[in-house]
Structure 1
Amino acid sequence: MTQTKFYERFLQKFPQIRISQRFFEMAKPFYIKINHVRTTCCCRMHIEFSMHYDIFHHICSTLHTNNVLQECNIQAPPKSIRYFISSVLCNRHDGFIYYKMPCLEGSYAICGGLQHLPRCIHLESTHEIGTKLVSFRKYKTTTYGVKDGKDLKRCELVKNDICVAEFIKIFQEKLVYEYIMHTHRARWLDEQFKLCKDTFPLGTIVSIVDFAENYALQPQNQMQSMYYHSTQVSIFIHIAFMHASDSTKEDRKVVREYHFYISDDHTYSSEFVQGYFKFFYYSLRERNIRYNRHLIWSDMHCKIQECKDVLLVEKDAYEKWCTTFLEFH
């Protein structure tokens, strides 16, 4: 959502408040940042492959062009990753939105093994270009020590310098097909979730649950002794879709609820998830909301499975239970 649309929505909701758009934008909290990257997904897989593809594009369009004078069958790849993927796979049939599974797996005889991708001997280790170094970046979980002797973990971007020939081998044999399968599953699941949200029947709850990253609370006006101190909390997010009391099959009235729970449990334990679902179901009973099925969309496979007994605690109201998992990022 753009700032302009958010400002217009604010004026509609609070017409009694008179404020210009400039002052409205200046009043936003310090932790709200404008997203300058026009992408639809910020998961780890997409971000990493975007960085890898930039290196691949740089190798083919810059290093190769500047160092090879004779003619070569390699060409600069498309700037768009989407066009690159479509160029290495077989064309989709008319009316189909997904590629064939053998094409996605790389086992199809026509396009398997990236046969449509031009190969160049200049990018091998025996050529000067193949020995040049490029920065291979990947997010990894690293361990670091703190003053009290404890070891903490964090996810950070790790950079390693590898030769062009090694990068091309990793990119072609592993990274491309991992990304292709990931985007295929993510797109299919997105379609399935939209279909589930728009068609789920009466007597059903549809939920999306996930943990946010540990949020650090750092006061802006802090005394000197607190400069290196911050308090971290875990935020458990639950978005629930359910039918209103007067909803019918002909006239669907869907209610959306947002639930945010804060905890000092930094390990995202299954006990905390169980405790939350107990609280959620008890709140439904207090509001006299009875449902016979609960569809949960989440990537927390193990934690949700361990909560099965908790989810069935109200056996008279929750005789059926179903969980749909999202793609791992």
Structure 2
Amino acid sequence: MRKHRAIKKLRKSLPDSPGTRISTLAAYLRNEKSPTIKTLQSSNIIYSPEENIENQLGLAVLEDIKIAISETKLKRTDQARLSMNVLSASVSGNCVKQLRSKLSLAKKLGVPARRISSGFTLRNKISKTISSSQVYTKRKVRTDALSDANKNLIHDFWCSPENSHPTGNKNDVKRVRIGPKKYSSHHVQILEKTQSEVFIDFKNKYPSVKVCQSLFERCKPYFVRAASTKDRVTCCCRYHLEIKYVFKAAMNNLKTCYQNLPSDTQFPVYASVTDMCNATLCNPNENGFHDKKCLDRNCPNCGVKLLNFSNEELKTDDSSENINWECFEYINQNTKHGPKKKLMLVKKNTKPGLMVQYLQKLLGTFPAHNFRAKWQNNQLKHLVTNLPQNHVISVHDYSENYKCKERDELQSSYFQKTEASLHVSLLYRHAILEVDGVESTLEDPYIVTENFFVISEDEKHDQYFTFQVQKYISEYLSSISCHVHTMHEFCDGCSCQYKSRHCLGHLRKSLDELGYNNLIRNFFETSHAKGPQDAAGGLVKNQTDLAIVRGTATIQNAHDLFEFVKSNLSVPKSSHCKRRLFKYTENINRNFRMFYKPIPGIRSVHQVVVDNDHLLIRSLSCYTCNNCLEGNINECENTNIIGTFSPISIVPEIGTVDEDQTDETDIEVPIYELVSKSTIFAVLCDDDEFDYYLLKAQTESYQLQSRETDSWGVSYQPGTNVIKGNYFMQGENPLHFKMIKRKYGLVPSNSCLYICTDVCVRSGEVKLSEDIHQNILKCVEMSTYV
């Protein structure tokens, strides 16, 4: 009765008109915020709008299936029967079975009920039977298809060392997508042959595997690609490259020697050069660094002597077979300017003992070289990260001269290109609010990186050019009110630009003129000065070349280059560089003298600090300890690794000081004019194994009237001033020499370095004193040719 009264009351409250009553009820039922409507929807008494859409979609799908069945069920073909099986199995599932709607579904689709039942059976057969599942899920292949084992064999053959090798660059990684948010990556490998040659080698090695070349190439791994010109690696370090070649040959020879050794004999086969070097050193300290005396081979407890080689590896007699290996040597090459020595990779075919001796020689110096290279680069990174306030870092480098080009170039212009000098400096400093929009503080340091370029028509890269760059940088820092207390310079070890006795001797004057309180110059290890500074110079030249090709720029000289880069490249697109600054100078001022006396051991110096009238030099830089970072260099915590500072006096050469003096009264006599017959003198050499050559003169210096070739095969052009004499061969003791009497040599007169006045020849042998030897080495350091 209660429901009846409520329904009666509701009916009376509704409008009398049927249309109005329907619209009123519909509006009420569409009110989704009403709790009553939500309860009705959850009880499945009425449907929500989403459910209505789903029901309409279900009816539409059901109608489409009914049409497809009606068009297919009367056909008598295999394809039609397969289609009916698929349709009946697709609509016959557990949901229909639970609703007990088999008859209703059959009536709706217009098929007999047994068709729905057969659909149930077929569906269970596919989903539950293993063999049937494989038939339906696995693609049927041809009878002569390539097996998985052969595919793996082809894959491994592509990656084998005789066919491909890694690029050596850790950033060369190939990445492919294998699924949603899933990727596979691998280091890129470069083919050493053409793909056809690889296929032919595979067929010769595995003749039983039947595969065509197109299928063979489709099995190539995604990370293996053909070689191209961009894969050529340049500016490699000789020490790293040479020891890699010799080490690889030595390990291959050791594996071969194992066949002739007793089974119980064990000699280590090292996996890398690093493992072999660690075997010759004492254990590192808690920070992972070796002591300086171990790296310099001055430790009695370690050294190359710890390596154990078999007798087969050490053989040098005729009982052993020759082996092939490679190393770098200076080879005489004929050029348009006459014979010249050039460092080249030479293929050797010698006894294994000679190769082992050469490997031992390389291991004597390589660990120290490798450590210095990594240490110096790490010091720069650490200093940039922990740069103190009022300190600035500048990384200097001369980029290769830019050759001015034209879009439409004449044939004759190809060999007559105008060049522009380009010096690159990376500046790291603390941010200034007025300049950078943010202030760097002790609590929140913010380091700004800037690229500073100096462009000039002057093609001579010397200490004067470098000093001009230093002045431009100092003027720029002053213009932005950057108060510099200490300037840290990092550069390579080029003697005529940054590291000669003249460059270092002039640092004291540079400190006064540049306005810094302290100036510290650091040097990278030989052949390890590549970094962002090279990329910065390459970017400028590359963008200029692209502008010329596009026809948007014409670069005919250094000033055109300056105007273009200043207008187009001052604002970088990368977030790593805040801005690019460009300066142009037409000529470099060289009207003042920068000549100073030699600095002993200058080649091994990697840090120079200006201290009043002295220089403090050290074998390595240090910015990882707090004392050195704060300027307390005499309290360094890493002295056992890098050594201590040594004071060096700055002494100008006589007659070359910066005072107002003229050279008209100075009479300079070339040293070669003091050479007479039977004089023993030292000459500069371009040989990495020796610092100098020693000769006994047969003649004084004279000028050649015609082309002449000496007994060593070296030729000189007419007009060359030469000295004729006999070479001395250096013995096991570097101070003992023996004359080579049967061959005479010609040396350029200008290569004469030092005259040994207190030395005499006895039985064709010469013994130099340590003082004379050191004096000759100082002359080698002084030479501008080194």
Distance apart, 1:113 and its partner CA: 3.2
Task: Tell me the alpha carbon deviations over residues 96-141 of structure 1, each in whole angstroms, 9 at most, x when there is no partner.
Answer: 3112334323344443333143343443212543x61534322759
TM-score relative to the length of structure 1: 0.71
Q: Identify the residue that residue 87 of structure 1 maps to in structure 2.
A: 279
CA 1:85 to 1:216, structure 2 compared with 1: closer, same or farther past 3 Å?
Answer: farther
Residue 203 of structure 1 aligns with which residue? 390
What is aligned with 1:54?
A: 248
Is 1:171 the counterpart of 2:359? The answer is yes
Q: Which secondary structure does the structure 1 equivalent of 2:246 belong to?
A: helix
Deviation at 1:75, TM superposition (A): 3.8
SS in 1 for 2:513: coil
Q: Partners of 1:152 and 1:233 in 2: how far apart?
A: 29
The answer (yes or no) to whether the contact 2:396–2:490 under 8 Å persists in 1 is: yes
The alignment partner of 2:317 has SS state of coil
Alignment of 1:1-329 (within 5 A): 2=171, 33=230, 42-62=236-256, 64-65=257-258, 68=260, 70=262, 73=265, 75=267, 77-93=269-285, 95-126=286-317, 128-129=319-320, 132-138=322-328, 145-146=335-336, 150=337, 156-159=343-346, 161=348, 163=350, 164-172=352-360, 174-213=361-400, 224-225=411-412, 234-245=421-432, 246-263=439-456, 268-298=461-491, 299=493, 300-302=498-500, 304-308=503-507, 309-315=509-515, 318-329=516-527
Cα distance in 1 for residues equivalent to 2:468 and 2:325: 45
TM normalised by structure 2 equals: 0.33
Partner of 1:11: none
Unaligned 5+ segments in structure 2 are 1-169, 175-227, 433-438, 528-786
Shift of 1:158: 3.5
User: What residue number does 2:772 align with?
Assistant: none
Deviations 1:272-323 (A, max 9, x none): 11122122222222333331210112233226425522343133xx122222
Of stretches 51-60 and 252-261 in structure 1, the one that deviates more from structure 2 is 51-60
Secondary structure at the aligned position of 1:200 is classed as: coil
**Contact 1:89–1:116, Cα closer than 8 Å, also in 2:** no
| Cα shift at 1:181 | 0.6
1:154 Cα shift?
A: 9.2
Which range is displaced more, 253-262 or 83-92? 83-92
Q: Is the 8 A contact 1:48 1:139 kept in 2?
A: no
Name the CA distance, whole Å, in 2 between partners of 1:32 and 1:81.
Answer: 28
Conserved in 2, the CA contact under 8 Å of 1:210 and 1:238? Answer: yes
CA distance in 2, matches of 1:199, 1:104: 28
Deviations 1:33-72 (A, max 9, x none): 46889xxx9433222322222222233234x356x36558
The more displaced of 192-201 and 298-307 is 298-307
Pairwise CA distance, 1:250 = 1.1
Name the amino acid aligned to 1:305: L
The answer (yes or no) to whether the contact 1:72–1:120 under 8 Å persists in 2 is no
C-alpha distance in 1 between matches for 2:326 and 2:373:
25
SS at 2:429 equivalent: strand
Distance 2:243 2:405 in 1: 32
Identity across aligned pairs (percent)? 20
Name structure 1 gaps, 5 residues minimum: 6-30
Does the CA-based 8 Å contact 1:134-1:162 persist in structure 2?
A: yes
SS in 2 for 1:324: strand
Listed one character per residue, the Cα deviations across residues 246-287 of structure 1 (whole Å, up to 9, x for unaligned) are 211111110111123455666531121112212222222233
**How far did 1:182 drift?**
0.8
CA distance, structure 2, for counterparts of residue 128 and residue 265 of structure 1: 61
* Larger Rg computed on CA atoms: 2
Between the two proteins, the alignment pairs up a number of residues equal to 291
C-alpha distance in 2 between matches for 1:141 and 1:205: 44
One-letter amino acid matched to 1:268: H
Aligned counterparts of 1:99 and 1:119: Cα–Cα separation in 2: 28
* CA spacing shift, 1:277–1:52, aligned 2, 3 Å: same
| Secondary structure at the counterpart of residue 280 of structure 1 | helix
Greater relative contact order, per chain length (Cα 8 Å cut-off, separation 6+): 1
Structure 2 residue identity aligned to 1:170: Y
